[in-house]
Structures are given as C-alpha cells and as structure tokens.
Amino acid sequence: MTNHRFDPTVLREYDIRGIIGETLGADDARAIGRGFATLLRQAGGKTVAVGYDGRVSSPMLEHALVEGLTASGCDVVRVGMGPTPMLYYAEASTEQVDGGIQITGSHNPANYNGFKMVFQGRPFFGEDIQELGRIAAAGEWIDGKGEISSHDIIDEYVDRLLAPLAGLDPDYLAGLKVGWDAGNGAAGPALEMLAARLPGEHYLLFTEVDGNFPNHHPDPTVEANLTDLKALVADKKLDFGVAFDGDGDRIGAIDGEGRVIWGDQLLMIYAEDLLRRMPGATVIADVKASRALFDQVAAQGGKPVMWKTGHSLIKSKMKQTGSPLAGEMSGHVFFADEYYGFDDALYAGVRLIAAAARLGKSVTELRGAMPAMVNTPEMRFQVDESRKFAAIAEVAARIAASDAVADTTDGVRVTTDDGWWLLRASNTQDVLVARAESDSEEGLAWLMAQIDEQLALSGLERGESVGH
C-alpha cells in the first residue's frame, strides 16, 4: 500500500479506537505500524514491544500491526496476549525496547478494538496520533526490514507485582481474604498466577479470557458490573474485592460490606500510605475527584494537584511535577514511587493490600472513615461535536463574570458553600460530562440546578445520560 486514510473517528485524543469491520481493520493496523515505526526510527529508536488483549479481533490486528512495523524497519518483540500494563512493563523494563503498542478495546463493547502506545518511555497521544494520520495520508513511511522475536514476560511481570508485599507483617497478610473479578478480560491469566503466589485466601471470578464478555461488561466504574463481586464478598465473608476493566489498567473495588470504593477514594487510601513514607509529596487527581481527596492530601501534608482527565495527560503531568502518585475517577491509578508511573490495576490491587497492612486498618475501616459525601455519578449527555467545546467556553465566561470561584483546568469546576459542580467536554466523544458533590441532598439539588441553568443559557439540556 502506498498511502492510507483512516476513518476520522478512530484517531482519538488518548488512543486509537474503532469498530471492527466498520471503522477499523487490518489495513489500519498496518498503517499504524508503518507510521509509528517511521516516527520511532526518526527519533533514533528501533525496537517495539507489541501485546494484545482478549478480544476476538486482536490477533488479526496484531498480525497486521507487526507487518507494518517491520516493513518500516523496526524490530518487534511480541509479548503475546495479556493486560495493557504487562505491555507497559515490557516497554519500561526491557533495555533494548524503545516503544510499545498494546492492541486493546479497553472497556468498549466487544465489537470495538484499538491501540494504546508508548514512545521512548512517554505516552503517545494527541498531536502524535494526528501525525500518524498525516504520515499515512501522504504515504511518507520509511522502508525497511525489521526482525521479529517473542518474549514470554508474564512470569517476570507477576514477580514484579509481588514486590510491594516484601517486609510487611506476615500474620496480617496470611489472614487476608480477598475476591477478584477479571471480567473475562485480558488480566485473567496474570491474575491466576498472581493469586496463586499471594499470601492469604483468594477467590477468583471470570478469569477465562473471552472477548464476548459473557458474564458482565468489564467496566468496574459502573456499579452494576460489580454485582457478582459483591455477592462473592458477602457469601465468603471476604475483607474486600477488586475488579478490573477489559485490559487490566483500571481498578474497581468494594469493601467487606459491599460498599464501592470509587477511584478518588482508593486514591485517598494510597495517598495516606504514601504520605507517611514520603512527606510533602505531590498527589495528582483529575477534575472529577472529590473535594474530600484534595482536602485529605493537604491535611496530611501533601501537595494536592487537580489536573485534566485522561491517562496520557495525567502521566505527562506526573513527569513534569515529579509526582509519585496520581489517579482518576475512572480507576486509572499511577504509582511512580516504587514502580514505573503507569496505570496497572493488578499492581494497584497489591498496593491496596500493602497500604492496609502498613496503615494497620482493614480496607473496610479505611472506607468507613471517609467523609460521607453526597454526589452524582458521572453524567454524560450528547452534544453536537461542533458545540461541545464552545458551550464550555460560554459557561466559563459567564462564571468568570460572576463572583463564583472556578477552576478551568479541564472544563469548569465551580466551588460553592454547598460543594462543587463540574461541566467538561469529553475529548473522545460528542458528549459533555457533568458531576456534582455536596455534604447534603439539598445542597446537591441546588448544585444540579446551577448546572441546568448554565446549560439552558447555552441552549442545551441534560438529556438521557449516555454510556462511555
């Protein structure tokens, strides 16, 4: 092929994603390989690690991607099927590897797939992805002939996941009882190996990789998907439960009483543990996170930073600030204090065990001690692509002209005596995202009325909430 045009919907802000047979196929994968290899060669790199998730279409895309990478002169190290963080680990820990690509549809429906990329140790997103499109349209690919090798890295990866437990109270660890739900996603086999080596009792659900997701959808931020895990924790009287998304880079959790521990609440636990060991550290969370998290980090002597939503944006901000810990409401948690700074839900599960052990409290006690906030889930509603950023700009201008206190890091987050509300445009879909939090139901209703008023002033309304 001399050049290639992508469907305009697949080259997205944080990754590449599309519908198999409609907007994404083998030719796209080949062109991505050629473009990525061309950019890597121009930057002085040569070797790319490639992995893939458990979706039915992943082996086909992997084959075409490897063809593209080698046709533009890159050597490929195939690490096979596994979670996205296993590919990140291969990229971060293997000396001669200069980049990495994971084929994954993450938590999208079964007929979707896509690519997450790392380029010389940094996230590859935004302008990088647009550049792939430009190179492909012009056919400006370097020609070459790369070598292909395979590296079975899963044992080494699981070894690395166990490191946080070294030196912790063996009696506490031996008494643990934990439930895990892999959701038939790509983390299943690594989870089985990990659980076999963890101290304590471990009960596993849905570790068989099945790209049709027969039991429930693998998105642990939707409470309905945690039903099976809640039943397991209640039935076996477990200490807590952990769930993963389809490619193992986002974590969900529940405590021993079946209460959800949301992304920002998990970060509160990790931050409390971290700040005892690293006083004054910077902890980053996205604009959707609870005020309770930012307040707690500050109260414990840390530096809270509110930043833009999106795993690539958060990783970049961590590098810039030297932050050892960051997280998002969506369950991406990034550890850079004793790890590589990427989002790894299996590692986050082990760190939850370690944090509870060091803090000397059960996960249920830690969850129970958190302030009782009343908040909305993430509300997403359709807005025409051409209006979404403009509408947010209009809201920001009106708020700036009033006496309200607003943060415009990513959308508009307004803090009042009742709590806070947020409106932001999604970078990946034609939707606006809203969220609000208060310490009373009355306060929350008042905040929601403010959101609706701002939307109405821009000729919009909060219709039916749409999914991811």
Percent of the chain with pLDDT over 90: 90
The pLDDT, as a whole number, for residue 436 is 97
The pLDDT, as a whole number, for residue 108 is 84
Tens digit of each residue's pLDDT (9 = 90 or more) over 33-49: 999 999 999 999 999 99
Q: Tell me the pLDDT band of 255, cut-offs 50, 70 and 90.
A: very high
Based on the residue annotation, tell me whether 106 is a catalytic residue of this protein: yes
CA distance 1 to 139: 8
The pLDDT, as a whole number, for residue 24 is 97
- Which CATH number is 374-457's, of 3.40.50.300, 3.30.310.50, 1.10.760.10, 3.20.20.70? 3.30.310.50
Tens digit of each residue's pLDDT (9 = 90 or more) over 185-224: 999 999 999 999 999 999 999 999 999 999 999 999 999 9
Mean predicted lDDT score pLDDT of the chain: 95
Each domain of the chain, given as residue ranges in start order, spans 16-152, 157-368, 374-457
Q: Tell me the pLDDT band of 464, cut-offs 50, 70 and 90.
A: low
**Which fold does the domain 16-152 belong to in CATH?**
Alpha-D-Glucose-1,6-Bisphosphate; Chain A, domain 3 (3.40.120)
157-368: in CATH 3.40.120.10: yes
Lowest pLDDT segment from 10-14, 156-160, 282-286, 443-447: 10-14
CA distance 371 to 172: 26
Across the range 236-244, mean pLDDT stands at 98
Collect all residues with Cβ–Cβ distance below 8 Å to 145 and sequence separation of at least 6: 70, 71, 73
Fold identical between 157-368 and 374-457? Answer: no
The pLDDT, as a whole number, for residue 21 is 95
Across the range 300-311, mean pLDDT stands at 95
Residue 112 has pLDDT above 60, yes or no: yes
Provide the strand spans (E) within 64-155: 75-81, 99-103, 112-119, 122-123, 148-150
The pLDDT, as a whole number, for residue 462 is 85
The answer to whether the predicted template modeling score (pTM) of the entire model surpasses 0.85 is: yes
Residue 468 has pLDDT above 60, yes or no: no
Lowest pLDDT segment from 27-31, 81-85, 219-223: 219-223
The pLDDT, as a whole number, for residue 196 is 98
The pLDDT, as a whole number, for residue 311 is 86
CA distance 117 to 312: 10
Lowest pLDDT segment from 145-159, 218-232, 257-271, 427-441: 427-441
Tell me the residue length of the chain. 468
CA distance 297 to 37: 41
**CA dist list (Å): 220 to 88, 157, 247, 329:** 21, 23, 12, 11
Closest CA to 363 of 200, 182, 189: 200
Across the range 124-152, mean pLDDT stands at 96
**Catalytic choice (106, 330, 426, 438):** 106
**CA dist list (Å): 189 to 88, 90, 162, 216, 247:** 17, 17, 15, 18, 12
